[in-house]
Amino acid sequence: MSEVLRLGMAGLGVASTQIMPPIAKLPFIKITAAADMRADAVAKFREQYRGEGFNSVEELCASPNIDAVYIATPNSLHAEHAIIAAKNKKHIIVEKPMAMNLAECDAMNEAADKYGVKLLCGHTHSFDPPIRKMREIVKSGELGKLCMINSWNYNEFMYRPRMKHELAMTRGVVLNQGPHHVDIVRLIGGGLVRSVRAMTGVWDPAREWEGSYTCFLEFEDGTPATLVYSGYGFFDTAELFSWVGEGGQHRAPETNLNVRKSLREVRSAEEEEQLKEGMRFGGKREGEYSHVWSGERKQPFFGHTVVSCQKGDIRQTPDGLKIYGETEQREINLPAGSRGREAEVEELYDAVVNGRPVFHGGRWGAATLEVCLAMLESAKQRKEIMLSHQVASPE
């Protein structure tokens, strides 16, 4: 393989409008092909990226002009498309959630092993520099033993332009936003979750899927963690964070009110589909709902996470971290660093070209999905759920 990793994009939907622009700027990546069933999007891709355009993921994966595939098709197709990629000896980045269930994750991991390709579970905020730094501090032991992790995220997720069948597929926030949240907490806590107790909430009769969860995790070593999420667009955790949003961009204080209002006006399934279609690659509103931001960027912020150790607490700040120690409080400014999609492809590149281990591999992704699925099961049974697919945080 050349020193440039040639990437094929599977799915030119809304996610692709967030994935391709930052990746296209990286010197060690070239987006050389894409596939989608929407002919207009494929035509626009050929024109804009001067790459090959295909109508199916099978054709894309058969191309000799790609080394890896970035899978951003609907969640129910992630396993099928990852396995096609593996059979064609293409490395894989798969969007969250990794798959629909653990059997699919197992099949994806087996295919990646069998055909000798790297499988990376992409797009979670555990790639963000402040989260990695929190893990580093915990692991170094400089603040003593890790004692608890508490993380809150409140935003307007349930009212973002999204079709009802997508909310059904992800059980609202649980399988869509849960993977970010769980990855953050698992990474900091060492990865090995012993059990999950959670309750989920369906508060809006017009959106009949889970818009909130309250979750208690216990790690194998006894460390407790709580994860709280509300996507109902009332309070906004960004208010506690100088109005910095998920991608490190400015988040307007009126976001929740405006998004709730605009979605109340959209009713039918056709209107929802039109709204979403407009935001896909090649659509009239492409990139409108994106965390990609060309202005000043602070550190990405996925909720208010406080990590407590025996000798101090750590929390994120817009520029890095603040540490509340026994005798002093200090702030650490972190370099912007690579984050989000840039960090993912960098990790894949390092694995493929430099032989480094994949940090967010398929077994890591399966373990995160197991926690998310256990939240649903725990809420259903109103019981603690014991886990069996957990793997440790990478060194």
**Interface residues for ligand NAD in 76-115 (CB under 6 A)?**
77, 95-96
CA 172 to chain CA mean position, Å:
15
Closest to 303 (Cα-Cα) out of 181, 203, 219, 208: 181
Establish if 253 lies at the interface with ligand NAD (CB under 6 A).
Answer: no
Of the candidates 4, 21, 38, 224, which one interacts with ligand NAD according to CB under 6 A?
38
Establish if 74 lies at the interface with ligand NAD (CB under 6 A).
Answer: yes
Establish if 13 lies at the interface with ligand NAD (CB under 6 A).
Answer: yes
Of the candidates 32, 63, 75, 249, which one interacts with ligand NAD according to CB under 6 A?
75
Nearer to ligand NAD, 80 or 106 (CB): 80
Establish if 123 lies at the interface with ligand NAD (CB under 6 A).
Answer: yes
Report the distance separating Cα 211 and Cα 364, nearest Å. Answer: 25
**Chain position whose Cβ is nearest to ligand NAD:** 13
Establish if 246 lies at the interface with ligand NAD (CB under 6 A).
Answer: no
Q: What is the DSSP string of 267-329?
A: -SHHHHHHHHHHHSTTSTTTTTT-S--SS-------SEEEEEETTEEEEEETTEEEEEESS-E
Q: Are 375 and 179 a contacting pair, CB within 8 Å?
A: no
Closest to 345 (Cα-Cα) out of 91, 174, 126, 154: 91
Using DSSP's 3-state secondary structure scheme, residue 77 falls into helix
Listed ranges 67-75, 228-236, 328-336, 354-362: which one lies at the site for ligand NAD (CB under 6 A): 67-75
Least Å from the CB of residue 39 to ligand NAD: 10
The kind and range of the H/E element at 194 are strand 193-201
Least Å from the CB of residue 96 to ligand NAD: 6
Sequence-distant (6+) residues with CB within 8 A of 222 are none
Least Å from the CB of residue 131 to ligand NAD: 17
Q: Are strands 385-386 and 193-201 parallel, antiparallel or unpaired?
A: antiparallel
Site string for ligand NAD, 159-178 (x = CB under 6 A): -----------------x--
Nearer to ligand NAD, 40 or 313 (CB): 40
Q: Are 248 and 298 a contacting pair, CB within 8 Å?
A: yes
Of the candidates 21, 49, 56, 260, which one interacts with ligand NAD according to CB under 6 A?
56
Closest to 348 (Cα-Cα) out of 13, 117, 167, 178: 117
Nearer to ligand NAD, 32 or 73 (CB): 73
Of the candidates 24, 37, 266, 386, which one interacts with ligand NAD according to CB under 6 A?
37
Establish if 57 lies at the interface with ligand NAD (CB under 6 A).
Answer: yes
Listed ranges 29-37, 130-138, 141-149, 353-361: which one lies at the site for ligand NAD (CB under 6 A): 29-37
The structure tokens listed for 59 are 């054709």
Size of the site for ligand NAD (CB under 6 A): 23
Establish if 272 lies at the interface with ligand NAD (CB under 6 A).
Answer: no
Establish if 12 lies at the interface with ligand NAD (CB under 6 A).
Answer: yes
The structure tokens listed for 232 are 């109902």
Name the DSSP class of 127.
G
Residues that bind ligand NAD (CB under 6 A): 11-15, 18, 35-38, 56-57, 72-75, 77, 95-96, 123, 176, 276, 280
